[in-house]
Amino acid sequence: MDPAAPCLVGVDYFPEHWPEERWAEDVRLMREAGMRVVRIAEFTWSKTQPRYGVWDWAWLDRAVETIAGAGLKLILCTPTACPPPWMVQEYPDILPVTTQGRPMTLGQRRHYSPLHAGYREACREIAEQLALRYGSHPEVIGFQIDNELHGTIEDVGPLAQAAFHRWLKARHGTLEALDRNLGLVFWSQQYSNWSQIPVPASASHHPGLRAEWCRFVSQAWTAFCRVQADAMRPHIADRVLTTNCYLHRWGMEIDWHELMREGGLDLFAFDNYSNALHENGYYSDLARSLSTPHWILEQRCGDTRHHHIWPEPEVPLEELTEAAARAGAKVITYFRWRQGLFGHEQDHGAVLDHHGRPGRMYGRVSDAIARVAAAEPIDPPQPSTGIVFTWPDAWLSSSSPNSLHYRDLILENAYRGVFEREGSGRFVLEPGQLEGLRTVLVAGKLIHDPDWEVALIDFARGGGTLVAFPMLFAKDAFNKYRPEYLTPALREVFGIEIERRILVREGHAVTAELEGAPLLLHTRVEELVPASAEVLGRFSDGPLAGLPWITRCRTGKGSAVYAAGYPDADGMRAVLDRVAVRGD
């Protein structure tokens, strides 16, 4: 897609929920609101393939033509987030098995294991059919695979277990290596046969095995996505292949960066149900770090099922839409066109109310679209501050008895500070992405990796301001602590040694000062011994009162700051004011 292209705003539509005689009226109202694109066909498997071997595309043909006929573009979804009942009857073992030992029941969604070969084949087939049928349609601009991939993290069934065993064997080679890598001698967990290894489906399992499980699950989803992408690719010419990712809490299950590399997709797309400005910024900036351009395939308007109901302040819909477009989204589709009359989401807000008459929300959406259309084309932001972000670090954190709450740390502490100070930030997802930044924040970066270490040191020496926070490189990739707290190279760059790491209980904080102003530190604090570094601030209370909490060391053309505690967003701004602005 041309990055200079205008942003297409539209809507998610479920024609199968409404009488066909209503379709023309719906499409007319969409046009009148200024909409340009419509996403359809999600969750329609039982309609398109009502039985094994029986296909019914005619209804979808008519829907596509009605929409296209009105001059609207289309995005079509594969329906694989909801296997139809007949398929579950055919393959009962596609159902994940919950930690209670029961297969998921029908009646919800996402009731399948991405590891089931038969299910993958059925998905491949319907995805290919969809691509064959609509892949050359002139108004179809792209395809969404599945919906909000995730969910195997708690599957303890035999399918998941056996696949995990194969994956572990391929990765570690021998049981001896597995034992050594993970530290299974703890509590006598040395396995003498791969088949003995349990599914570590809850976070209270062995931290090493649990972290491996997280990696395995993420890769399973990437592979699942890839099957559909490969089936569709030959038949869709230059149309876009994507999937609507969810960046919310449980969106941490999947390494979206790996998915973008390995999943066979063209661009990153996400669903946005946030009501907070900084969280919207986080989504946009993360999306932009993942691909250019990006799409928003579900943009909330109105209530959701349980949330965003009065008295929560109403989402400034127009503002959020405009900000998203300015931040580089090239497609934004509101979820959803009209409140559903039936099903689990029957109370979900929409552009139209149940009655189907244009009302207040229709008017606001029309305004938002007009504002986007009228906006001057501007270049997307070029942030000068980077935030290191990796999913494996999040998995290690959540697999430990004392989680760092990685996502909160990144979103509410680090990113929010940057966002409120600078309007946007750039996520650094791999060591090679530091170029062009002036400051980089390294928070919750648990896993030591020589490439990261070298890149960060080079960044500082090359003139950047490197700002590191507690637990830097504290562990290896298998969630084992490293006995070496800072490597010799890092000790030199930061000009300090770390003597002790201290847990701060959730909901509590330690006070520290920076240029006389107090700030609060959470999660972890560390005892520093400065060598060549200058002390910028000290702990005011807590177990380290009076000791330095933040130091800076000039190195090469830049500097390396070590902050021995996690400030909240306000404190993060203060740190940046002190070390980034003046330091630059």
Q: Which of residues 28-57 bind its own copies (CB under 8 A)?
A: 43-47, 50-51
Q: Which of 185, 276, 373, 581: binder of its own copies (CB under 8 A)?
A: 185
106 vs 223, which CB is nearer to its own copies?
106
Distance between CA atoms of residues 487 and 493, nearest Å = 10
- The stretch near its own copies (CB under 8 A) out of 137-145, 275-283, 383-391, 400-408 is 400-408
Q: Which of 285, 303, 393, 453: binder of its own copies (CB under 8 A)?
A: 303
Q: For residue 549, which amino acid is it?
A: W
86 vs 273, which CB is nearer to its own copies?
86
Catalytic residue among 128, 253, 279, 298: 298
* Whether 285 contacts 386, CB under 8 Å: no
- The stretch near its own copies (CB under 8 A) out of 165-173, 285-293, 399-407, 444-452 is 399-407
* Residue 438: CB minimum distance to its own copies, A: 33
What is the CB neighbour count within 10 angstroms for residue 166?
Answer: 12
* Whether 241 contacts 142, CB under 8 Å: yes
Residues 478-517 that bind its own copies (CB under 8 A): 478-485, 499-505, 508, 510
3-state secondary structure of 268: strand
Rg over CA atoms, the chain: 25
Q: What is the CA 332 to chain-centroid distance, rounded?
A: 17
Residues 114-173 that bind its own copies (CB under 8 A): 156
47 vs 371, which CB is nearer to its own copies?
47
474 vs 576, which CB is nearer to its own copies?
474
Distance between CA atoms of residues 389 and 280, nearest Å = 17
* Residue 47: CB minimum distance to its own copies, A: 6
Q: Which of 30, 40, 41, 82: binder of its own copies (CB under 8 A)?
A: 82
Q: Which of 106, 132, 323, 477: binder of its own copies (CB under 8 A)?
A: 106
What is the CB neighbour count within 10 angstroms for residue 575?
Answer: 24
Q: 149 vs 82, 127, 163, 392, CA distance in Å?
A: 11, 15, 19, 17
234 vs 518, which CB is nearer to its own copies?
518
* Residue 219: CB minimum distance to its own copies, A: 21
* Residue 467: CB minimum distance to its own copies, A: 23
288 vs 338, which CB is nearer to its own copies?
338
Is residue 92 involved in binding its own copies (CB under 8 A)? no
What is the CB neighbour count within 10 angstroms for residue 355?
Answer: 8
* Whether 201 contacts 156, CB under 8 Å: yes
- Beta-carbon contacts of 569 under 8 Å, excluding residues fewer than 6 positions away, are 278, 412, 413, 416, 417, 420
209 vs 536, which CB is nearer to its own copies?
209
Q: Which of 31, 109, 233, 554: binder of its own copies (CB under 8 A)?
A: 109
Residues 337-376 that bind its own copies (CB under 8 A): 339-347, 353-356, 359-360
* Whether 400 contacts 423, CB under 8 Å: no
- The stretch near its own copies (CB under 8 A) out of 100-108, 256-264, 413-421, 565-573 is 100-108
Q: Is 148 a catalytic residue?
A: yes
* Whether 465 contacts 559, CB under 8 Å: yes
CA distance between the termini of the chain: 36
Among 330, 296, 377, CA closest to 8: 330
Number of chain positions touching its own copies (CB under 8 A):
96
Residues 529-558 that bind its own copies (CB under 8 A): 542-543
**The sheet that has 140-144: what strands, in order across it?**
240-242, 140-144, 73-77, 37-40, 8-12, 329-335, 294-300, 268-272, 244-246
Q: Mask of contacts with its own copies, 203-242, x by CB under 8 A?
A: -xxxxxx---------------------------------
Is residue 88 involved in binding its own copies (CB under 8 A)? yes
213 vs 427, which CB is nearer to its own copies?
213
Among 141, 150, 120, CA closest to 231: 120
Distance between CA atoms of residues 78 and 191, nearest Å = 41
* Residue 4: CB minimum distance to its own copies, A: 38
Q: For residue 563, which amino acid is it?
A: A
* Residue 312: CB minimum distance to its own copies, A: 7
Buried b (16+ CB within 10 A) or exposed e, 306-337: eebeeeeeebebbebbbbbbbbbbbbbbbbbb
* Residue 289: CB minimum distance to its own copies, A: 31
Q: What is the CA 380 to chain-centroid distance, rounded?
A: 20
* Residue 191: CB minimum distance to its own copies, A: 5
Write out the catalytic residue numbers: 148, 298
